[in-house]
Amino acid sequence: MNDKLQTCSFCGASQGVETPLIAGIDGHICEACVALAHQVVTSWGRCRSLNGPLKPPPKPKEIKDQLDLYVIGQESAKECLAVAVHNHFKRLAVEARHPRRALDDRDRVEIDKSNILLLGPSGTGKTLLAATLARIVGVPFVIADATTLTQAGYVGDDVEGIIVRLLDAAGGNKDVAEWGIVYIDEIDKLARVGENSHGTRDVSGEGVQQALLKLIEGTQVKISAKGRKESAETPVIDTRNILFMVGGAFAGLERVLRRRLEPGPSAIGFHSEITAKADPRAAARIYDETQPDDLRHFGLIPEFIGRLPVVVALHDLDEAALVRILTEPRNALVRQYQQLFLFEGASLEFTPEALVAIARKAIARGTGARGLRSVLEGLLQRPMFDLPSMTDVVGCLVDEAAVNGDGPVQWRHTAAEPESVAVGAG
């Protein structure tokens, strides 16, 4: 009988009740070293799968330059997202090329992920930023909608469904999916209801926030076989390295901020102080002052807020920014409508004053950049209705009077006539 005390051939741990060893032909290995070896081998597999995107990681300036082609303004938000995505790539590259090789690896610093919260008024570009990032990054990217999520066991989508979509985006490759990026939109709709909820469970509000806690921080998600091809094993996704970004308009948060930043007068009558009018510039950037306590008053639970350390504020777009949105991006609205007119063999032109008037109308609607398309649709509806039936038209000119409804849009015909035929702007 061999009474010799066996030790792990890798770390030297002695065999015991709490430290069992697996015997091999010429050595033994403990449970901790088996787990470490599995982590190293998995990193090699991920490195092979992501060899293209991870070599080299895109620089923050390169990411921002790509965002600039599609998103106008919001410079601080684009810089923050560029840094976050670059660091995400860098974490993946470091872990793939230099995996943890020992249980006590003191020279290796493990970098934690920094999940991001995007907040700002509707129409400021939150979803557009996320969708544009999806075109840039080389890892799987998924955009989910928080309004469709409910607690497990209720009608709706479970939070684990987001990871299923990420796995599908990775082509079923579990290792690649574990290094993806997830954007959850409309996160402000998960704000918990007030105390007058008549005792009903908030299954699509606070309940979803609680279900997202471990998912965002890092947990093992077992992918169910429902709706998927039958396989010998059920994949388990580790969300520890998945970067989560959430965004929402947070309508009403500005009132919470103003109560904290602009306290009302404490006295009335002759002893009261006359408060100065708020600076419009400061009011436009009030979301920069958002603190975790403000989000708690809005309806997010503290545990959820703590897992989103990076808060990026987006601001209302001014008139100049909306004019740039109309003309500068690759998919600018003016270019889109010009292409529609070119399909009919006619050009479409806007005067500079007309562009400013369109931006001014969009601001008045209070829907941000989304209001630009509504203004253009109403403005060009009648010309687009009449154009396919016209035979001698080569161009259309929109001026300020046409935008304001004080005059018609002007058609240019093939004949070199000094006068132009006008069609009412409706």
pLDDT of amino acid 64: 92
If one compares 400 and 20, the residue with the highest pLDDT of the two is 400
pLDDT of amino acid 372: 93
Binding site for Zn(2+), by residue number, is 8, 11, 30, 33
- The rounded mean pLDDT for the chain is 80
Binding site, by residue number, is 8, 11, 30, 33
Average confidence (pLDDT) over 45-60? 60
DSSP state of 147: G
Rounded CA-CA distance 405/396 in Å is: 16
Identify any residues that bridge with 14 across adjacent strands, giving them in sequence order.
7
Beta-strand pair 116-119/347-350:
unpaired
pTM for this one?
A: 0.72
- Tokens found for residue 150: 């409910």
Q: Are 147 and 157 in contact (CB under 8 A)?
A: no
Contacts of 426 (CB under 8 A, 6+ apart): 378, 381, 382
Contacts of 222 (CB under 8 A, 6+ apart): 234, 235, 236
Q: Residues of the chain with pLDDT > 70: what percent?
A: 77
- Which residue's entry shows tokens 């599609």? 70
Query: pLDDT by residue (tens digit) across 119-161?
Result: 988 888 888 888 888 778 777 889 998 888 876 656 567 888 8
Rounded CA-CA distance 347/397 in Å is: 8
Give residue 197's pLDDT band: very low, low, confident or very high (50, 70, 90).
very low
Distance of CA 332 to the CA centre of its chain: 20
Identify any residues that bridge with 248 across adjacent strands, giving them in sequence order.
119
User: How large is the angle between the packed helices 160-169 and 206-217, nearest 10 degrees?
Assistant: 50
- Which residue's entry shows tokens 């403005």? 379
Q: Are 242 and 178 in contact (CB under 8 A)?
A: yes
Q: Which domains does the chain have, with CATH numbers?
A: 7-49 (no CATH), 57-101+110-193+201-224+234-262+279-316 (3.40.50.300), 319-423 (1.10.8.60)
Average confidence (pLDDT) over 299-304? 91
